[in-house]
Structure 1
Amino acid sequence: MTWRLLLTVLVVANLASALAVVLARHQHRQLFVQVTRLEKARDELNIEFGRLQLEQATWAESNRIDQVARDRLGMKFPEGAETVVIRP
């Protein structure tokens, strides 16, 4: 009777161990897919960030600012007679 009980316990332990291995592998695969998806999103965001930095540098160029101020706002450098110096 004890051999039969011992065999039953070993079979149940073996099945539980096999089930734990299956669950661990399944979780590993799910996490691997998630990591891959997140790495792809990170790479896309890095590309977008680089593009935005380039765009920001383009918009911040002094020539661009000067051109927009002249065209859209009608600004210009003052002539000599238009310049007023204020002294304290």
Structure 2
Amino acid sequence: MSLNKLNAVLLLGVIGCAMSVVTSQHVSRRLYGELEKEQKLQRQLNVEYGQLTLEQSTWGAHALIEKSAVARMDMLTPTQRQVHVITPEGVR
């Protein structure tokens, strides 16, 4: 193989390597942008999850449920005489 042919092959190899470096950098930057976007979404979802957890614990509080039952449905806590305990043997 002559020197000109060898130079041409090497030049094509260098150009191919350069193109692959540019392509890989472009893909890397695009993927990094997507990663940043997903991490931002993760932070937002973590904040929302914390808020929902706090809201759930607030709504699950016994006093709040009782207050809501009295206000919305006029429900009252039964007196001792109104409570009947049923056992397998019958009412006691």
TM-score, length of structure 2 as denominator length: 0.87
Deviation at 1:15, TM superposition (A): 0.3
Unaligned regions of 5+ residues in structure 2, if any?
A: none
Counterpart amino acid of 1:11? L
Show the counterpart of 1:64: 64
- How many residues end up aligned between the 2 structures? 88
Whether 1:46 aligns to 2:63 is no
* Per-residue deviation, residues 16-68 of structure 1 (Å, max 9, x unmatched): 00000000000000001000000000000000000000000000000000101
Report the more deviating stretch, 12-21 or 71-80: 71-80
Show the counterpart of 1:24: 24
Distance in 2 (alpha carbons) for counterparts of 1:38 and 1:17: 31
What is the SS of the residue equivalent to 1:76? Answer: coil
What is the SS of the residue equivalent to 1:75? Answer: coil
Show the counterpart of 1:36: 36
Counterpart amino acid of 1:12? L
Whichever structure has more strand as a proportion of its residues is: 2
What is the SS of the residue equivalent to 2:4? Answer: helix
Runs of 4+ in 1 over 3 A off after TM superposition: 79-87
Report the more deviating stretch, 64-73 or 77-86: 77-86
Identity of aligned residues (%): 32
Distance in 2 (alpha carbons) for counterparts of 1:83 and 1:39: 54
Show the counterpart of 2:4: 4
What is the SS of the residue equivalent to 2:82? Answer: coil
Distance in 2 (alpha carbons) for counterparts of 1:71 and 1:29: 58
TM-score, length of structure 1 as denominator length: 0.91
Deviation at 1:84, TM superposition (A): 4.2
RMSD over aligned CA atoms reads 1.6
